[in-house]
Structure 1
Amino acid sequence: MSKYVLRETALDLLTRIGEQGGFSHVLLDREITKQELSRQDGALLTEIVYGTLQRRDLIDYYVQPFVAKQKKIKPWVRWLLYMSVYQMEFLERVPDHAIIHEAVEISKRRGHKGISSFTNGVLRSVQRKGLRSLDEIEEPVERLAIETSHPAWLVKRWMDQYGRSITEEMCRANMQHLPLSVRVQPLRISRLEAMEQLREDGFKVEESLLSPQGMVVSEGQLLKHSLFTEGKVTIQDQSSMLVAEMMDLEKGMTILDACSAPGGKTTHIAEKMEDEGEIVAYDLHVKKAKLVNKKAEQLQLTSIQASQADSRNLADLHEAASFDRILLDAPCSGLGVLRGKPDIKYHKQLEDVFSLRKIQDELLDRVAPLLKEGGKLVYSTCTVDRHENEEAVQHFLKQHPEFTVDHEFFNDLPEVTKGSKGQSDFGLQMFPQDFDTDGFFLTRLVKQSK
Structure 2
Amino acid sequence: MSKYLLRNTAIELLLRIEQDSGYSHLLINHEIKSKNISPKDEGLLTELVYGTLQYKMTLDYYIAAFIDKNKKLSPWVRMLLRMSIYQMIYLDKVPDHAIIHEAVEIAKQRGHKGVASLINAVLRNIQRNGVPSTNDIEDPVKRLSIETSHPEWLVKRWVNCYGYETTKEMCVANLHHKPISIRIQPMKISRIEAMEQLESDGFTVSPSTFSEQGIIIEKGNILKSSLFTKGMITIQDQSSMLVGEMINAQPGQTILDACSAPGGKATHIAEKMRNEGNVFAHDLHKKKIKLIDEKAKELTLTNIKAEQMDARKLRERYEEDTFDRILVDAPCSGLGVMRGKPDIKYNKSEEDIERLSEIQKEILSTIAPLLKPNGLLVYSTCTVDPSENEKVVQDFLSRNQNYEIDQEFFNELPSELKNAQGVTKYGLQLFPQNYQTDGFFLTRLMRKS
Partner of 1:65: 65
1:301 Cα offset (Å): 0.3
Partner of 2:304: 304
Q: 1:434-449 to 2 correspondence within 5 Å? A: 434-449=434-449
* Paired letter, 1:285: H
Q: Distance in 2 between matches of 1:270 and 1:366?
A: 24
Q: What residue ranges of structure 1 are gaps of 5+ in the alignment?
A: none
Partner of 1:271: 271
Q: 1:58-207 to 2 correspondence within 5 Å? A: 58-207=58-207
1:216 Cα offset (Å): 1.1
Partner of 1:327: 327
* Paired letter, 1:124: R
Is the Cα–Cα contact under 8 Å of residues 290 and 307 in structure 1 kept in the other structure?
no
* Paired letter, 2:59: I
Partner of 1:226: 226
Is the Cα–Cα contact under 8 Å of residues 243 and 378 in structure 1 kept in the other structure?
yes
Q: Distance in 1 between matches of 2:156 and 2:384?
A: 13
Q: Does residue 203 of structure 2 align to residue 213 of structure 1?
A: no
Partner of 1:362: 362
1:37 Cα offset (Å): 2.4
Partner of 1:342: 342
1:19 Cα offset (Å): 2.0
Is the Cα–Cα contact under 8 Å of residues 178 and 436 in structure 1 kept in the other structure?
yes
* Paired letter, 2:264: G
1:224 Cα offset (Å): 2.1
1:39 Cα offset (Å): 2.3
1:194 Cα offset (Å): 1.0
1:120 Cα offset (Å): 1.1
Partner of 1:418: 418
Is the Cα–Cα contact under 8 Å of residues 311 and 363 in structure 1 kept in the other structure?
yes
1:54 Cα offset (Å): 0.8
1:115 Cα offset (Å): 1.4
Q: Distance in 2 between matches of 1:19 and 1:81?
A: 17
* Paired letter, 1:187: M
* Paired letter, 1:443: T
* Paired letter, 1:284: L
Q: 1:289-300 to 2 correspondence within 5 Å? A: 289-300=289-300
Q: Does residue 33 of structure 2 align to residue 48 of structure 1?
A: no
Instruction: Give the SS at the match of 1:114.
Output: helix
* Paired letter, 1:63: I
Percent of aligned pairs with the same residue?
59
Is the Cα–Cα contact under 8 Å of residues 39 and 221 in structure 1 kept in the other structure?
no
1:440 Cα offset (Å): 0.1
Instruction: Give the SS at the match of 1:211.
Output: coil
* Paired letter, 2:291: L
Over residues 153-202 of structure 1, what are the superposed CA-to-partner deviations in whole Å (9 max), with x where a residue is unaligned? 11111011111111111001001112111111111111111111111111
* Paired letter, 2:312: R
Partner of 1:32: 32
* Paired letter, 1:399: R
Is the Cα–Cα contact under 8 Å of residues 257 and 266 in structure 1 kept in the other structure?
yes
Q: Distance in 1 between matches of 2:396 and 2:298?
A: 36
1:382 Cα offset (Å): 0.3
1:381 Cα offset (Å): 0.2
Q: Distance in 1 between matches of 2:245 and 2:38?
A: 36
Q: Distance in 1 between matches of 2:61 and 2:226?
A: 45
Partner of 1:13: 13
Q: Distance in 1 between matches of 2:130 and 2:356?
A: 43
1:414 Cα offset (Å): 0.5
Q: Distance in 2 between matches of 1:314 and 1:447?
A: 18
1:107 Cα offset (Å): 1.1
Question: How well do the aligned residues superpose, as a CA RMSD in angstroms?
Answer: 0.8
Over residues 358-402 of structure 1, what are the superposed CA-to-partner deviations in whole Å (9 max), with x where a residue is unaligned? 100000000001000010000000000001000000000000000
Q: Distance in 1 between matches of 2:127 and 2:317?
A: 64
Q: Distance in 2 between matches of 1:107 and 1:218?
A: 38
Instruction: Give the SS at the match of 1:136.
Output: coil
Instruction: Give the SS at the match of 1:281.
Output: strand
1:38 Cα offset (Å): 2.5
Q: Distance in 2 between matches of 1:130 and 1:164?
A: 28
Q: What residue ranges of structure 2 are gaps of 5+ in the alignment?
A: none
Is the Cα–Cα contact under 8 Å of residues 88 and 99 in structure 1 kept in the other structure?
yes
Deviates more, 1:61-70 or 1:395-404: 61-70
* Paired letter, 2:4: Y
Over residues 386-428 of structure 1, what are the superposed CA-to-partner deviations in whole Å (9 max), with x where a residue is unaligned? 0100000000000000000000000000011121110000000
1:40 Cα offset (Å): 1.9
Partner of 2:404: 404
Q: Distance in 2 between matches of 1:70 and 1:424?
A: 50
* Paired letter, 1:36: N
Deviates more, 1:173-182 or 1:389-398: 173-182
Over residues 203-239 of structure 1, what are the superposed CA-to-partner deviations in whole Å (9 max), with x where a residue is unaligned? 1111111111111112111112211111111111110
Q: Distance in 1 between matches of 2:13 and 2:198?
A: 32
Over residues 232-265 of structure 1, what are the superposed CA-to-partner deviations in whole Å (9 max), with x where a residue is unaligned? 1111111011001000111100000000000000
TM-score normalised by length of structure 2: 0.99
Q: Does residue 242 of structure 2 align to residue 242 of structure 1?
A: yes
Instruction: Give the SS at the match of 2:65.
Output: helix
Is the Cα–Cα contact under 8 Å of residues 187 and 274 in structure 1 kept in the other structure?
yes
1:44 Cα offset (Å): 1.2
1:43 Cα offset (Å): 1.3
Q: How many equivalent pairs are there?
A: 449
Is the Cα–Cα contact under 8 Å of residues 260 and 281 in structure 1 kept in the other structure?
yes
Q: Does residue 386 of structure 2 align to residue 386 of structure 1?
A: yes
1:59 Cα offset (Å): 0.8
Q: Distance in 1 between matches of 2:208 and 2:37?
A: 29
Q: Distance in 1 between matches of 2:347 and 2:130?
A: 30
1:110 Cα offset (Å): 1.2
Deviates more, 1:258-267 or 1:116-125: 116-125
Is the Cα–Cα contact under 8 Å of residues 422 and 431 in structure 1 kept in the other structure?
yes
